[in-house]
C-alpha cells in the first residue's frame, strides 16, 4: 500500500491517504497537549509507545469479537487502519471517579462506581468538547438512534474486555475515551486506546501510568507509557 498526501494533522497523530480507498495510514507523534491544547509539550517516544499500545489493544479487542479499524502496524510509528467516516463524538467510559467527573460532581478521585457509566462529548476544539447526552446526539443529527445504541453497546463491550485483562496485569482501568466511525455504514471503533486516552492506575499504589503525569506535572512522564507497554507486551524500550 502506497502512502499518499496527508489528509489531516491532529494533536497527537497525522492521517495519510493511501492508494487504497478503504485505508489510511496513521502516524503517531510525540506531541502532547492537555487542557484542550492550552498546555503543550512533547513526550519522548510517545508516538512509538502509543502506536504499539494501541495496536496491542485493538488486536486484543478483535480476538474478543470487537471489530475495529486497526489492520496492522507497519513500523514503530505508523499503522494501517480502515477508513472510517468519524462520528463527531467522544465517548467516555468510567469505572472509577477521576478527572472531570471528580471535579464536576465534587466526588473523591478513586471512588469505585457502583456500575460502569458512559458519557458523550461533542468533538469540537473551539467549544472545548462540551458534554452532550445521547438524546442530543440524535437530535443534533450527529448519529442515528440505532448508531448511538450500538456505540454504547460497543463501548461497554470494550470495557468488559479491557478491565479484567488489565486487572490481571495489576492495572486499574479507571476511565477511557473512545471514538467511533462508520465503515460501509456499520458502526466501528476507531482512533486509539493508549495512555493518552485512558487512565491507568497501578492496582497496589494507584500510581498514574498515563497522561495524567503530563497533565498534572507529576514527572517521569514517559515512564508511564514505558511501564504500560512492558506490562502489556513485556517489551522494554
Contact residues for ligand TMP (CB under 6 A)?
Answer: 90, 92, 98-101, 129, 175-177, 197-199
Q: How far is the CB of 101 from ligand TMP (least distance, A)?
A: 6
Q: Which among 38, 33, 39, 3 has a CA at the least distance from the CA of 20? A: 3
Backbone angles phi, psi at 97, to 5 degrees: -65, 130
Rank residues 18 and 177 by Cβ distance to ligand TMP and give the closer one: 177
Nearest residue to the partner ligand TMP, using Cβ? 99
184 conformational bin, left if phi > 0, alpha if psi -120 to 50, beta if neither? left
Give the residue carrying C-alpha cell 507497519. 74
Rank residues 99 and 223 by Cβ distance to ligand TMP and give the closer one: 99
Q: How far is the CB of 19 from ligand TMP (least distance, A)?
A: 31
- CA–CA gap between residue 203 and residue 209 (Å, rounded): 11
Q: How far is the CB of 130 from ligand TMP (least distance, A)?
A: 11
Q: How far is the CB of 146 from ligand TMP (least distance, A)?
A: 25
Rank residues 101 and 155 by Cβ distance to ligand TMP and give the closer one: 101
Residue pair 1/20 in contact by the 8 Å Cβ criterion: yes
68 Cβ contact partners less than 8 Å away, ≥ 6 residues apart: 58, 61, 62, 188, 189, 190
Rank residues 18 and 209 by Cβ distance to ligand TMP and give the closer one: 209
Residue pair 64/161 in contact by the 8 Å Cβ criterion: yes
Q: How far is the CB of 199 from ligand TMP (least distance, A)?
A: 4
196 Cβ contact partners less than 8 Å away, ≥ 6 residues apart: 12, 32, 46, 50, 210, 211
Rank residues 100 and 144 by Cβ distance to ligand TMP and give the closer one: 100
Rank residues 78 and 175 by Cβ distance to ligand TMP and give the closer one: 175
Q: How far is the CB of 123 from ligand TMP (least distance, A)?
A: 8
Amino acid at each position: 500500500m502506497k502512502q499518499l498526501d496527508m489528509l489531516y494533522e491532529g494533536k497527537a497523530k497525522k492521517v495519510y491517504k493511501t492508494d487504497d480507498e478503504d485505508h489510511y495510514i496513521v502516524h503517531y507523534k510525540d506531541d502532547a497537549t492537555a487542557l484542550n491544547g492550552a498546555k503543550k509539550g512533547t513526550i519522548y517516544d510517545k508516538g512509538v509507545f502509543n502506536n504499539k499500545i494501541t495496536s496491542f489493544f485493538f488486536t486484543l479487542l478483535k480476538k474478543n469479537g470487537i471489530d475495529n479499524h486497526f489492520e496492522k502496524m507497519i513500523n514503530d510509528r505508523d499503522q494501517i487502519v480502515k477508513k472510517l467516516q468519524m462520528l463527531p463524538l467522544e465517548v467516555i467510559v468510567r469505572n472509577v471517579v477521576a478527572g472531570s467527573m471528580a471535579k464536576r460532581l465534587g466526588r473523591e478521585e478513586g471512588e469505585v462506581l457502583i456500575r460502569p457509566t458512559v458519557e458523550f462529548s461533542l468533538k469540537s476544539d473551539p467549544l472545548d468538547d462540551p458534554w452532550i447526552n445521547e438524546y442530543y446526539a440524535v437530535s443534533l443529527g450527529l448519529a442515528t438512534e440505532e448508531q448511538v445504541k450500538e456505540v454504547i453497546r460497543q463501548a461497554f463491550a470494550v470495557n468488559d474486555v479491557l478491565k479484567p485483562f488489565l486487572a490481571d496485569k495489576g492495572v486499574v482501568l479507571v476511565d477511557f475515551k473512545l471514538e467511533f466511525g462508520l465503515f460501509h455504514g456499520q458502526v466501528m471503533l476507531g482512533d486509539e486506546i493508549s495512555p493518552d486516552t485512558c487512565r491507568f492506575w497501578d492496582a497496589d499504589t494507584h500510581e498514574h501510568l498515563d497522561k495524567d503525569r503530563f497533565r498534572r506535572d507529576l514527572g517521569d512522564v514517559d515512564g508511564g507509557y514505558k511501564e504500560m507497554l512492558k506490562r502489556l507486551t513485556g517489551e522494554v524500550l
